[in-house]
């Protein structure tokens, strides 16, 4: 087994109206699993299975009814250590677009060519002319394959000059450069990188203190990857979406955007047992069991379960991301109950013993 440090909230909070209104920058509240209707024994089973079956887990956080009820870091990871999100960054870029739309800076029906006429080919194809912001959001730009931006001198120009053989909106093709273009669009209409644009609108209200986002040679946040956050930051982002964009009395993201972004906008497969075949929204994936998620290479997940009023944040380094999600469904889906459970000292003791065993062995 792999060595890790696990912290589980083992205290109940006496909640006053003041406590319920967390101050800006405060961490999420902690609570016992049973008080939020979740079995400590089931959490222990999940941790055992994840530790054995996923190579390798880095962190895990489970939020129920807005409160952290379990959190774990596998050494040498820690709560304070930012983690690369890879393509989970895309969901944050989508959020920036949604806020910019709400502020009247752009529309999802704006044509990409009209936003970057200076970078367009001399004779743009009809498909390029038809490409809209919406098509970037849904990974249906009309490309057959991705342009290799890493080998390009100018990333936006390389995207605009890449062949578009399919009519936009008709062909789903996972496309990280499309997300880069969303970032470039937000920067063009706001005068700020997506990182700086989101600081006062998202990161600061959520208490995300030091986000970092890598940039292109043109000084544009990469958008499709390159964002570094801590595990609790990921959990807060998921909780914001679970709360329909509301946070401490503020509407940070419009409810209408949350609904569109997390709904199935395009089909991407038909396998009922595969979480990558359940449909795609605006830079969010639909999951089985009524859930949705942002995800990134090697197993970075922000899974939102509206039916269970729960959020699961995971960081990892694994080649089999479906197996990583399967452990969640197999071990945690049945752990949620509608009402609080009786405090279970025996299950909590066994969970504590498991924690100590896992902390001391590899």
Beta strands in 74-206, from DSSP E residues, in sequence order: 83-84
Domains of the chain: 5-80+231-247+299-360 (no CATH), 82-229 (3.40.710.10)
For residue range 264-308, what is the model confidence (pLDDT) as tens digits?
A: 999 999 999 999 999 999 999 999 999 999 999 999 999 999 999
> How far is Cα 2 from Cα 185, in angstroms, rounded to an integer?
43
On the question of pLDDT at 108 being above 50, the answer is yes
Q: Quick one: pLDDT at residue 194?
A: 98
For residue range 328-349, what is the model confidence (pLDDT) as tens digits?
A: 999 999 999 999 999 999 998 8
> How far is Cα 232 from Cα 82, in angstroms, rounded to an integer?
10
Instruction: Over range 226-243, report the average pLDDT.
Output: 98
> How far is Cα 253 from Cα 316, in angstroms, rounded to an integer?
28
What pTM, to 2 d.p., does this model score? 0.93
Query: Cβ of 294: how many Cβ atoms within 10 Å?
Result: 27
Query: 253: cis peptide before it, omega within 30°?
Result: no
- Of 17-21, 25-29, 188-192, the poorest mean pLDDT is in 17-21
For residue range 65-100, what is the model confidence (pLDDT) as tens digits?
A: 999 999 988 888 889 999 999 999 999 999 999 999
Half-sphere exposure of residue 57, counting CA atoms within 13 Å on the CB side?
31
pLDDT band with cut points at 50, 70 and 90 for residue 218? very high
On the question of pLDDT at 8 being above 70, the answer is no
**Strand-pair partners of 250:** 247
> How far is Cα 59 from Cα 324, in angstroms, rounded to an integer?
12
């Amino acid at each position: 087994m792999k060595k890790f440090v696990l912290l589980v909230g083992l205290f109940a909070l006496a909640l006053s109206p003041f406590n319920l209104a967390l101050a800006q920058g405060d961490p999420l509240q902690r609570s016992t699993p049973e008080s939020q209707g979740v079995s400590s024994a089931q959490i222990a089973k999940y941790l055992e299975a994840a530790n054995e079956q996923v190579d390798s887990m880095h962190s895990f956080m489970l939020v129920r009814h807005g409160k952290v009820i379990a959190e774990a870091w596998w050494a040498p990871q820690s709560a304070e250590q930012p983690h690369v999100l890879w393509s989970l960054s895309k969901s944050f870029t989508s959020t920036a677009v949604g806020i910019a739309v709400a502020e009247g800076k752009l529309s999802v029906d704006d044509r990409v060519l009209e936003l970057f006429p200076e970078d367009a080919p001399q004779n743009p194809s009809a498909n390029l002319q038809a490409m809209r912001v919406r098509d970037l959001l849904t990974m249906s730009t009309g490309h057959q394959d991705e342009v290799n931006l890493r080998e390009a001198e100018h990333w936006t120009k390389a995207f605009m000059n890449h062949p578009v053989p399919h009519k936009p909106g008709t062909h789903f093709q996972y496309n990280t450069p499309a997300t880069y273009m969303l970032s470039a669009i937000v920067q063009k209409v706001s005068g700020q990188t997506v990182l700086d644009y989101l600081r006062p609108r998202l990161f600061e209200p959520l208490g995300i203190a030091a986000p970092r986002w890598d940039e292109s040679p043109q000084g544009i946040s990469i958008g499709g990857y390159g964002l570094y956050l801590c595990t609790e930051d990921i959990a807060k982002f998921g909780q914001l979406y679970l709360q329909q964009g509301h946070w401490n009395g503020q509407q940070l993201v419009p409810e209408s955007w949350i609904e569109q972004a997390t709904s199935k906008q395009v089909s991407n497969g038909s396998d009922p047992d595969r979480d990558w075949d359940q449909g795609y929204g605006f830079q969010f994936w639909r999951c089985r069991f009524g859930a949705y998620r942002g995800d990134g290479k090697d197993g970075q997940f922000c899974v939102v379960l509206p039916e269970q009023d729960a959020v699961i944040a995971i960081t990892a380094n694994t080649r089999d991301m479906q197996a990583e999600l399967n452990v969640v469904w197999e071990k945690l889906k049945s752990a949620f109950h509608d009402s609080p459970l009786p405090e279970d000292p025996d299950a909590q003791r066994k969970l504590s013993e498991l924690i100590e065993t896992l902390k001391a062995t590899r």
